[in-house]
Amino acid sequence: MIVGLTGSIASGKSFVAKMFEKMGYPVFYADDEAKKLYYDNDVIRDLKSTISEDLYKGNIPDFGKISEFVFSCRENNKLLSDRLLAHLYPVLLKWIADNPSDINIVEAAVLYESGWDKYVDVVLCVYCDEKIRIERIKKRNINNTANYIDRIKYQLPDEVKREKADYVIDNDGVKPLLPQIVEFLKFVEKWKE
């Protein structure tokens, strides 16, 4: 079974993913794997030819220019995301084949936005109120808060993700996470029947 784990920036989805890992479940971190692709020769050729040579200095990604391009408008954001996702999907399939498990977790902030929800069996959303998320962002990196807040605009609102998900974990900082994860695993076992 493949579980899509999603949630907005600073919702705590990566923290929940780490908890699943500690419990012995394999986790595919889509954002981390996508970042690695910027150094892949096929991706370099693709992005230079379909978007712009300016995204690279030689074959080294210029993340300042990439960020500027991606967050300048929704069309650019979608174009780059679509190009990367085309290269990322085979990486995911190989990872699943290399990590046989009853439950594989695919952690992806843009699970719905990318259309990857159709590739998973169950979607788990880590939900957190926007005010709390913005406070968490400020604590992470006060100098880069505006950048994170800009990124939120390119993701579905957490409320929408919450409505679409098969199961929701509330990460408000009050309810303990572990009992919610245990309940989710019980839900998955019933779902598999």
Residues 6+ apart with CB under 8 A from 37: 43, 84, 87, 88, 91
- Residues 136 and 110 both lie in one domain: yes
Q: DSSP label at 173?
A: S
Q: What is the pLDDT of residue 141?
A: 65
- Residues 96 and 118 both lie in one domain: no
- Residues 19 and 109 both lie in one domain: yes
- d(C-alpha 18, C-alpha 130), whole Å: 22
- Nearest alpha carbon to residue 121 among 157, 152, 165, 84: 165
- Residue % of the chain over a pLDDT of 90: 61
- Residues 13 and 108 both lie in one domain: yes
CATH number, domain of 14, equals 3.40.50.300
pLDDT tens track, the chain, 193 positions:
999 999 988 888 999 999 999 999 999 999 899 999 999 999 999 999 999 999 999 999 999 899 889 888 888 888 998 899 999 999 999 999 999 999 999 999 889 988 889 999 999 999 988 888 878 777 776 556 566 666 666 678 888 899 999 999 999 888 999 999 999 999 998 877 6
- Residues 189 and 119 both lie in one domain: yes
Residue 77 structural domain: 32-100
- Residues 184 and 160 both lie in one domain: yes
pLDDT tens-digit series, residues 158-175: 888 999 999 999 998 889
Amino acid (1-letter code) at residue 161: K
Q: What is the pLDDT of residue 78?
A: 86
Number of domain units in the chain = 2
List 104's β-bridge partners, or say none: 2
Q: What is the mean pLDDT of the chain?
A: 89
- Residues 58 and 86 both lie in one domain: yes
- The DSSP element (H or E) to which 57 belongs, if any, is strand 56-57
Task: Provide the whole-model pTM.
Answer: 0.88
- Residues 120 and 183 both lie in one domain: yes
Boundary-marking domain end, from 58, 83, 100: 100
- Residues 22 and 110 both lie in one domain: yes
Boundary-marking domain end, from 59, 75, 100: 100
- Residues 179 and 166 both lie in one domain: yes
Boundary-marking domain end, from 100, 117, 145: 100
- Residues 138 and 68 both lie in one domain: no
Judge contact between 138 and 9, C-beta under 8 A: no
- Residues 119 and 90 both lie in one domain: no
